[in-house]
Amino acid sequence: MNDLIKELYQEIILDHGQDPRNFGECNPYNKSADGHNPLCGDNLKLTFFVNHDDIIEDIKFTGEGCAISLASASLMTEKLKGLKISVAEEIFKDFSNLVSGSADDLNVLNEEDSLYALKGVGGFPMRVKCATMAWHAFKEALKN
Amino acid sequence: MMDIKKIRNDFPILNKKILNEKNLVYLDTAASAQKPQVVTDEINSFYLNHYANVSRGVHTLSVESTFKYEDARKKVQKFINAASEREVIFTKSATESINLIANSFAARHINEGDEIILSIMEHHSNIIPWFLIRDKYKCKILFANIDSDGNINEEHFKSLITEKTKLVSLTHLSNVFGTTINQSIIDLCNNAGIPILLDGCQSAAHIPIDVKALGCDFYVFSGHKLYAPTGIGVLYGKENIIDELPPYQGGGGMIADVSTDGATFTDLPAKFEAGTPPLVQAYGLGIAIDYINELGMSKISNYELELTNYALDKMQDFDFIDIHGENGVKHSIISFNLESIHSHEVSSYLDVEGIAIRAGHHCCQPLMKHMKLNSTARASFGIYNTREEVDIFINALKNCRDFFKK
């Protein structure tokens, strides 16, 4: 077994890939966007509800994709629920660095975070889009 | 007999170690073929010893370049058995070839309400150009269904042909199933007097091509899938049809005379080759064709068919491998899924074992939607692949399945 594969597919990734959390649609929601990876056809729909204090009260997704994209979306929703938008945006910056091989450039994320399990994606440049699809949908939804 | 060991020595990249330890097993020739050293050496030599623009100057280098460029055209003509060099147009890609014929043919022959027939298993490059034509001319695009073997359903295809049908454009060899078009489909078009385009991107590299015997009116392919460089494509068109079509692009090299009032256009094939052509790439394509001819296209085809069947036999032993269009005759291409494991996982797992396969929708999203699949994995073979490589591939599939299904 190759170490790169072990690092990419950690137990938590396989778990969330097979059994994604927060799978569904928020009711009600006031933000939504579609994520799409034209490379493979994977797609998701992200919905969330932001309250008057700019806090993400609820966040869910539906869609189909590989283990990396589903696990990433699942872990993202777990992480972002209850956070302020501005904090979520900081995390997005760190996460982008983490999965593109720049794990040294982190400000708010650390090894204790479940999101850190996606660090292995850095060894597979063609899979970065799988890991960031949900996050790009999140950013897109904030623009709408 | 093919001397595969000798052939493999012609492709230096096959010695590459993936992640510094695994031998490369390249099973993605359907996406693009690797290049024999004779092709890259000759391209270098062209630039270093003979290069100038073609069909323009009268100096020695221009003459040498022009000769080499036109010589490549002759090689292509013979390779596909076209009646004349005037029927061979160089483009930058098969995609450009289809866009060219779509635009020039439509300008002369397509009107509102007319119909163009494709199949559900076409590559996006044989769908989107026609969508653009549809939007411009308000014609209709109809899609022929396929059967479970990965062949066009002949009854359905027949039912789509009407007096409104102006053109049929189909894949010659499916990049998903590896199946080839039935001659009866082409005959149907010929008998109905409807021009038919064959997308030969996959077929040109795997089976002998004779456009006259096939009876197609247009045939397109790219160099890079045929062991030649990127940036070169071919459009074959029957002379009596393309001779009366308007140019696709305007520019240098395609005019007879230009004044401030307008221009007259030059003869075939230059009429369709505006601008400085990819002349070195065309030369490289000619060298690749020489290389293939030396091995013999029939021998290549037989060897690859045998190798594909060897792989299919082994894959069919495992019930966790779903082969798409399982019962069709497959030329060098096998699409499959490992139960519910996403093709990305399969490809990444195989990658670290040194094995390159394709994962995704293969630029065939309508087909994926038809098959109700998100994506598939695809292994494809070329002249350099061996049974030992197939064994490595099968073994990796078993391990991959165990890893994700534990």
Interface check for B342 against chain A (CB to CB < 8 A): the answer is yes
CA distance B90 to B273: 7
CA atoms within 13 A on the CB side of A137: 30
* Tally of CB atoms within 10 A around A130: 29
CA angle at B196 for the pair B193 and B199, rounded to the nearest 5°: 170
Contacts of B375 in chain A (CB under 8 A): 40-42
Q: Which pair of structure tokens corresponds to residue B178? A: 């590896």
pLDDT (0 to 100) of residue A1: 58
Nearest to B347 by CA among B375, B386, B374: B375
Average pLDDT score over residue span B294-302 = 97
Threshold 0.95, pTM exceeds: no
Interface check for A7 against chain B (CB to CB < 8 A): the answer is no
| Count of domains observed in chain A | 1
CA distance A113 to A125: 22
Residue A123: band (very low, low, confident or very high) from pLDDT cuts 50, 70, 90: confident
Average pLDDT score over residue span B53-77 = 92
Q: What percent of chain A has pLDDT over 70?
A: 99
Determine, for residues B361 and A1 on separate chains, whether the beta-carbon distance falls below 8 Å: no
Determine, for residues A68 and B344 on separate chains, whether the beta-carbon distance falls below 8 Å: yes
pLDDT (0 to 100) of residue B85: 97
Q: Structurally, what CATH architecture does the domain formed by B40-293 represent?
A: 3-Layer(aba) Sandwich (3.40)
Q: Write the burial class of residue B25 (CB in 10 Å: 0-12 exposed, 13-18 middle, 19+ buried).
A: buried
Is a pLDDT exceeding 70 seen at residue A58? yes
Q: Assess contact for B37 and B11: CB atoms under 8 A.
A: yes
H helix or E strand, kind and range, residue A87: helix A85-99
Nearest to B378 by CA among B150, B147, B126, B144: B150
Average pLDDT score over residue span B152-173 = 98
Superfamily (CATH) of domain B4-30+296-404: Aspartate Aminotransferase, domain 1 (3.90.1150.10)
Q: ipTM value of the model?
A: 0.84
Q: What percent of chain B has pLDDT over 90?
A: 92
Average pLDDT score over residue span B379-399 = 98
Determine, for residues A127 and B342 on separate chains, whether the beta-carbon distance falls below 8 Å: no
CA distance B153 to B121: 11
Average pLDDT score over residue span B146-151 = 95
The residue ranges of DSSP E strands in chain A, in sequence order, are: 31-37, 42-50, 56-64
Return contacts of B294-302, CB within 8 angstroms, 24+ apart: B295/B2, B295/B7, B295/B383, B297/B207, B297/B208, B297/B209, B298/B208, B299/B2, B300/B2, B300/B206, B300/B383, B301/B206, B301/B207, B301/B208, B301/B331
* Tally of CB atoms within 10 A around B264: 9
Query: For testing the chain A interface, which of B335, B337, B340, B344 should be mutated: the one with the most A CBs within 10 Å?
Result: B344
CA of B371 vs chain A CAs: smallest distance (Å): 14
pLDDT single digits (tens) B186-238? 999 999 999 999 999 999 999 999 999 999 999 999 999 999 999 999 999 99
pLDDT (0 to 100) of residue A101: 87
Residue of B nearest to A129 (CA): B344
Residue of A nearest to B373 (CA): A41
Average pLDDT score over residue span A122-141 = 94
| Main-chain phi, psi angles of B251, to 5 degrees | 165, -165
pLDDT single digits (tens) A62-90? 999 999 999 999 999 999 999 999 999 99
Average pLDDT score over residue span B64-85 = 97
Q: What percent of chain B has pLDDT over 70?
A: 100
Determine, for residues B403 and A9 on separate chains, whether the beta-carbon distance falls below 8 Å: yes
Residue A22: band (very low, low, confident or very high) from pLDDT cuts 50, 70, 90: very high
Interface check for B362 against chain A (CB to CB < 8 A): the answer is no
CA distance B88 to B90: 7
Instruction: Count residue pairs from A and B with Cβ separation < 8 A.
Output: 50
pLDDT (0 to 100) of residue B80: 98
Is a pLDDT exceeding 80 seen at residue A144? no
Q: What rounded mean pLDDT belongs to chain A?
A: 94
Interface check for B403 against chain A (CB to CB < 8 A): the answer is yes
Domain range annotation of chain B: 4-30+296-404, 40-293
Contact map slice: A 18-57 vs B, CB within 8 A: 39-42
Quote the domain boundaries for residue A32. Answer: 3-143
Average pLDDT score over residue span B88-102 = 98
Q: How far is CA B99 from CA B104, B105, B140, B234, in A?
A: 8, 10, 17, 12
* Tally of CB atoms within 10 A around B255: 16
CA distance A105 to B342: 31
pLDDT (0 to 100) of residue A104: 87
pLDDT (0 to 100) of residue B75: 98
CA distance B330 to B332: 6
Residue B20: band (very low, low, confident or very high) from pLDDT cuts 50, 70, 90: confident
Average pLDDT score over residue span B236-247 = 97
Q: Assess contact for B262 and B9: CB atoms under 8 A.
A: no
Q: Write the burial class of residue B374 (CB in 10 Å: 0-12 exposed, 13-18 middle, 19+ buried).
A: buried
Determine, for residues B374 and A39 on separate chains, whether the beta-carbon distance falls below 8 Å: no
CA distance B176 to A8: 28
Q: Which pair of structure tokens corresponds to residue B111? A: 């009107």
Interface check for A64 against chain B (CB to CB < 8 A): the answer is yes
- For chain B, give the number of residues: 406
SS3 string, B188-245, reads HHHHHCCCEEEECCCHHHHCCCCHHHHCCCEEEEECHHHCCCCCCEEEEECHHHHCCC
CATH code: domain of residue A70: 3.90.1010.10
Contacts of B345 in chain A (CB under 8 A): 9, 66-68
Contacts of A16 in chain B (CB under 8 A): none
H helix or E strand, kind and range, residue B109: helix B94-109
Q: Which pair of structure tokens corresponds to residue B226? A: 């045929």
CA distance B196 to B117: 9
Is a pLDDT exceeding 90 seen at residue B1? no
